[in-house]
Amino acid sequence: MMQHTAVKTVPTTYSRQNPFQAIVLKNVNLNGASSSKETRHIELSLKGSGLSYIPGDALGIIPSNDPELVDSLLKEMKWDEETLVEINKQGETLPLKEALTTHFEITLLSKKILQQAVELTENDELRNLVSVENVNQLKEYTNGRDLLDMLRDFGPWNASAQDIVSLLRKMTPRLYSIASSIAASPEEVHLTIGAVRYTAHGRLRRGVCSVLCAERVQEGDTLPVFIQENKHFHLPDSGEKDIIMVGPGTGIAPFRSFIQQRAVDKATGRSWLFFGDQYSASDFLYQDELEKVQQDGVLTRLETAFSRDTVQKVYVQHKMLENSKELFEWLENGAYFYVCGDKQYMAKDVHNTLIDVIEKEGDTTREAAEAYLEDMKEQGRYQRDVY
């Protein structure tokens, strides 16, 4: 007699290589009309994905390029958008327009691209730029320029569309700190994304993913996503521990998830948030929510710094100094200290201010204060998510 074994359906695991098409449930601008910024609050459905995350993790989005920029490239080079081009070593092909839209990175230039492009043009200016002695000029050229700039600046090109796309890197996913707790919003993931727009070298530049989210993704559309664990940025194992969170601007994102999680867990540890931005009237992200969790006692303290509301610019690190005595007491009591946001300036300033606070309130030397912070880092009590 034949035995019938039940066929097991293997669940698909969604990943960077195989992203989940998440439906956009909500996409709103958090900034007021008078703001110079645009920060999108986006809610995505994870229904049917089997994906899960913990506060501190990131969501990867695989974006597509700005159609206007793709059209400008096609026009500049008089290319036929239907031409098939190989997109990888396996010889897979896509029509040129689709390849430039979904597969290749066209907004970033690298030294390598320019060095390889030399072979495709007679242009002496490019040859000169990539020569060994001009390494600094080459680095400067790549900064804030893209493929269209290169094609315009160093023609005429003796190159097919295939030659040019062979120089390009594959589109890289963009990672965003998750701004929700799955316990508070089952089967959903929320993001806080600042739209990047600036003018450089005579053209308006747009962030590939942030402007896709701000301008081209409507409710009901889908985005290809995956979860990226962040082992070095997460809540303490015990809900009894105090947490101090410094997250100006979009740096608020993971702390919204921390606060939501601790509300669900009914954590008994105290929590203190430092938030900052330009104007309180238009840039106080999640103001109603934050004030409510403060009233509910989920958030123990809320300190805000709005740099443009006063003649003297006030930033989160100034608020830390103003509260240095209590801050040090919290640290001495075993509090965890978290920083999220801008790596270049803010995170450095906060780091140095933290050392100032420990030095002053601990009545100790600079070296001893630095060692204190190192010790916190080793205990996992000083964690940073900076970009």
Among 327, 332, 315, 337, CA closest to 383: 337
- Bridge partners of residue 302, in order along the sequence: 273
Chain centre distance of CA 385: 10
The reported pLDDT for the residue numbered 3 is 55
The reported pLDDT for the residue numbered 221 is 98
Question: CA–CA distance from 27 to each of 35, 41, 46, 205, 284 (Å)?
Answer: 18, 6, 15, 22, 17
- Bridge partners of residue 121, in order along the sequence: 157
**CA angle, residues 86, 87, 93, in degrees to nearest 5:** 50
Q: Show Cβ contacts of residue 231 under 8 Å, excluding neighbours closer than 6 positions.
A: none
The reported pLDDT for the residue numbered 10 is 52
The reported pLDDT for the residue numbered 188 is 98
Q: What whole-number distance in Å separates Cα of residue 188 and Cα of residue 44?
A: 6
Q: What whole-number distance in Å separates Cα of residue 74 and Cα of residue 94?
A: 15
Residue 34 neighbours by CB distance under 10 Å: 9
The reported pLDDT for the residue numbered 262 is 98
The reported pLDDT for the residue numbered 6 is 53
> pLDDT tens digits for 158-210?
999 999 999 999 999 999 999 999 999 999 999 999 999 999 999 999 999 99
Q: Which domains does the chain have, with CATH numbers?
A: 20-54+173-228 (2.40.30.10), 67-165 (1.20.990.10), 243-386 (3.40.50.80)
> In this structure, are residues 329 and 376 in contact, taking their beta carbons and an 8 Å threshold?
no
Sign of the four-CA dihedral 300, 331, 54, 60: positive
The reported pLDDT for the residue numbered 352 is 98
> In this structure, are residues 38 and 194 in contact, taking their beta carbons and an 8 Å threshold?
yes
The reported pLDDT for the residue numbered 114 is 97
> In this structure, are residues 337 and 381 in contact, taking their beta carbons and an 8 Å threshold?
yes
The reported pLDDT for the residue numbered 5 is 53
Q: Write out residues in the chain with pLDDT < 70, as ranges.
A: 1-12
Sign of the four-CA dihedral 91, 95, 101, 106: positive
Q: What whole-number distance in Å separates Cα of residue 309 and Cα of residue 33?
A: 16
Residue 236 neighbours by CB distance under 10 Å: 18
